[in-house]
Amino acid sequence: MLLVYCPCCASQLLVPKEWVEYGDRTVIARRCPDCGLEDLVTTTCVAAAAWARQELAITGSLRGLADALADGLPVLLSEIA
């Protein structure tokens, strides 16, 4: 998916900063934490919604992992994926 690949360094860690919907299109401001690139990309609302769902799922998993580590609970590698 081209939305999540940095056009400069090919990193897959692009972070959506904000988005605005215009009809059936969405403009997303994104940032690459590896090389610092900041740009805008236009895509369909469906693709933007899929990316947003993926980002929420990843964020939720990372928060759960951070909470478990902070509480001193054992974490299995199989739970991270």
Contact between 6 and 32 under an 8 Å Cβ cutoff? The reply is yes
The predicted model gives 39-55 an average pLDDT of: 92
Confidence of residue 65 (pLDDT cuts 50, 70, 90): confident
Contacts 24+ apart (CB under 8 A), 50-53: 51/1, 51/3, 51/4, 51/16, 52/16, 52/19
Burial (0-12, 13-18, 19+ Cβ within 10 Å), 10 = exposed
The predicted model gives 25-54 an average pLDDT of: 94
Mapping DSSP to helix (H, G, I), strand (E, B) and coil, where does residue 64 land? Answer: helix
pLDDT over threshold 70, residue 81: no
User: Quick one: pLDDT at residue 18?
Assistant: 93
pLDDT over threshold 90, residue 4: no
For 2-6, 15-19, 50-54, 75-79, which range has the lowest pLDDT when averaged over its residues? 75-79
